[in-house]
A and B are shown apart, each in its own frame.
Chain A
Amino acid sequence: MDIDPSKILVRYNVQKEKAQTPEEMAAEMYPSAEPARTIAVAIFEGEEDDVVEALEKALASGADPVKLIDDTLMPGMDIVTKLYDQGVIFLPNVMMSADAMLEGIDLCKEKAGTSAKAKGKIVCHVAEGDVHDIGKTIVAALLRAAGYDVVDLGRDVPVDEVIAAVKKENPMMLTGTALMTTTMYAFKEINDRLLESGIKIPFQCGGGAVNQDFVVTYELGVYGEEAADAAKMADAILSGKGLAQLKEHFHKH
């Protein structure tokens, strides 16, 4: 027994797929100047050795390491993130590109001494009692890929520890991930403790169990559906958006 499946199901992913390949689309976005081009290609392909090689060559011929970060590594990664947002490439490609870019950043930072600085600092964590950390790992990787300095507290993080880290690191934003209905209530407590201490940073929350209706019940909470929202929200904060505007922009209903 067999069937022509076209009447019982539709593979919308195939239907929606772009005619161009990701490689072709990336090629249209590569910068023309060198070494930016070579580095962008190496980042897209996730080839960390090629990234390092091109950077070392540039550094040897006198390039400024901080400018290399801003003018070659960040724009190179930006292409990858854009294609991911458009649904052209998938997460593992982003992860491999981010690994390659971060290797390049490490090298440039080493050369630059203290003068290189990130776009901003963000603390990430998984709620107390919850070990589901893959979503958080993705969030942290995408934030790093977008040029943020991430302090990753890991999983099953006690409320006290989150508060202490925020006080110590003074981040522009805090993220929380919870996959269990039993663990997400820690977010409310974190919110209250932050407010008690007079800290009013956006606290972006997501993960399987969390939904917008829950997050709006505490003042600092902003709900994020997808990992990529974290970087978009950080960018929005940098562009001057306050809590109310963030909620307006990122909340769906």
Chain B
Amino acid sequence: MVDKRLIDQLRQIVGNENVLTSKISLETYAFDASPYSGRPSVVVFPTTTEMVVAIVNIANEKNIPLMPRGAGSCLSGGAVAPDGSIVISLTKMNNILEIDPLSKIALVEPGITNKQVQLAVESYGLMYAPDPASQNISTIGGNIAENAGGIRGVKYGSTKDHIIGLEVVLPTGDVITTGNIHSHVEPELDLTYYFCGSEGTLGIVTKAWLALSPINAEVKTMTAIFGSLENAGSCVADIIAQGVVPTTMEIMDNIVIKAVDDYLKLGLPRDAEALLLLEVDGFSSDVKTQVNSIINAFATNHALSYKIAGNEQERQDLWKARRSVNGALGKLKPANIVHDIVVPRDRLAIMLEKVAQLAKKYGIIIGQVAHAGDGNLHPTLYYDHRIPEEVEIIEEACDEIIKETIAQGGTISGEHGIGIEKLKYMPLAFNKPTLHLMKKIKDAFDPKNICNPGKLLPQITED
């Protein structure tokens, strides 16, 4: 049962309306966008750093697990509440505190959505480069904690490349500021990096200084269709080899193309085996040369046809198609698992083929999208969670996908995080000394292991 005194204390800190304790409301905080769920004991909505500190102090004193939460769009279970935990929802700390267009810095609270940041800085001719497909809802805090990557990732990198500094409430209740906000000289040991991808296990981000980038003068968006995934994969490797750096290169397979087209009715090529969507930006002369090299690569890799988006509407439609992939696929079966594997770019074609073969071998549906430019694949496996045999087959197929990834020299997560889902694969991806070091780092930040326990770091077996 929930400790009545604890609830009173929390109410005093954040106010009655900012504490949820009923069974029903907790039920809606049990889960995120992954298939897992947990049992929180209370949800609080702080609005200031001081409130966060006060909440953390109580948790620390009483040894209660806590979990920061943004939009709850995490795909790996990172935002699934640990049993008995205090969920700290940052969604009411959602202000933009400052935009400095000269230094190209925005200071924001963690609960603001990525999209709202984009809208606010757009009028200065600026953008915040990381743009995950969940940008309309996912929060900056969640983006940092998952080190979210975006569609522009090939050229601009991921979240960690665009964070100048952070204010963090540590699990001990101390508040630290990382980074070197007033100078571009990096400090020796950059603490900011630790928090990017920490999955809420090292502390709670309460402010972030974001680096903004100028919006490029010209953008060209193109699509090409291929008769096989392999050709699409080789085409990507070829483009990179020619020295072209598109902002994006996304591959969708036939299953995905059809599902998205069913949803958006955009007239996508429904019988194409693979669709490559790519975008280049820069000054107009620069864009022209890039486009030419890409068209050459299309030809050498047997593209069946290609198209350049004629206007902004066509471009937006294509992006909408890409951003809708996750949701559109939800229609195929009641449950799915999205993988987030990364392989070296020259192995992309092989990996896509291998996954397609696995789908055949197990007789299951696997939809594939890939942020091909950085070798990040998202094979999604569809099943009915109510049928135990299906669940079993899916688990087997997942294990095989991961083994294949590692055999190709790859790793298990590009951007969705380890969370709960990939805990069991950590010992495959990292050797013992590495895992031990990670554990030591965790202990240094969170000696009592109260901050989002049970995620990211596996139990290390001593044998």
Asked if A pairs with B, the answer is no
